[in-house]
């Protein structure tokens, strides 16, 4: 999508051609060194847990979710936002969730991490240079393996990933500094 619009794009995952585990500070630093400054940062790393009551979820599982969903987001923000501030230009999109705006039973750790992403986005939006835009984006209910884990059911009747991607592309095309600090829903685009 971005390459088709003439942008230089780098996609990373924990495995593959350009791996980066956002919970590993050395890998984040190496990624930043390879890519240099960016005009658009999309923080999309996220993990989920098996649904269970809050009191039954081990603290280690809470830590695993916070390490990726919150601290991984912070690590990338710290790596890339300073250059955006220096240039007074850039867009940060932090992927949140509807469950980052309201709680859901049996999903306490995930909800807590996505509430944190919403708060991080709003706080950072107040700190960035004029000309930089920081938003939190809820992709909606998308038929993914993660959703199947959350719902413990077949999710094929929910939004196909390609439809979400098309809406996300429309959203990205509209973002400019006037959107700074907003929480957005992909389904609105």
Kindly list the catalytic residues: 110
Q: From its phi and psi, is residue 56 left (phi > 0), alpha (psi between -120 and 50) or beta?
A: alpha
Structure tokens belonging to residue 145: 């393996």
The values of phi and psi at residue 137, to 5°, are -125, 130
Find tokens 């685009």 and name the residue.
Answer: 189
Q: Convert 148-168 to b/e letters by CB count within 10 Å (16 or more is b).
A: ebbeeeebeebbeeeebeebb
Let me know how many helices (H) and strands (E) the chain has, helices first: 6, 4
- Nearest-Å Rg of the Cα atoms of the chain is 16
How far is residue 76's CA from residue 50's CA, in Å, rounded to a whole number? Answer: 26
Structure tokens belonging to residue 30: 């190496």
Gap between the terminal Cα atoms of the chain:
16
């Amino acid at each position: 999508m971005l390459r088709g619009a003439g942008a230089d794009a780098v996609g990373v995952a924990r495995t593959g051609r350009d791996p980066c585990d956002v919970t590993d500070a050395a890998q984040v630093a190496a990624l930043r060194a390879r890519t240099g400054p960016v005009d658009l940062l999309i923080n999309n790393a996220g993990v989920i847990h098996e649904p269970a009551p809050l009191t039954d979820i081990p603290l280690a599982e809470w830590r695993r979710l916070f390490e990726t969903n919150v601290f991984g987001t912070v690590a990338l923000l710290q790596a890339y936002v300073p250059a955006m501030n220096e240039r007074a230009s850039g867009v940060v999109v932090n992927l949140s969730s509807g469950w980052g705006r309201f709680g859901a039973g049996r999903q306490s750790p995930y909800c807590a991490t996505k509430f944190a992403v919403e708060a991080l986005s709003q706080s950072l939006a107040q700190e960035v240079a004029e000309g930089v835009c920081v938003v939190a984006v809820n992709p909606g209910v998308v038929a993914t393996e993660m959703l199947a884990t959350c719902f413990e059911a077949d999710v094929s009747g929910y939004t196909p990933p390609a439809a979400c991607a098309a809406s996300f592309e429309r959203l990205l095309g509209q973002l400019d500094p006037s959107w700074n600090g907003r929480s957005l829903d992909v389904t609105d685009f």
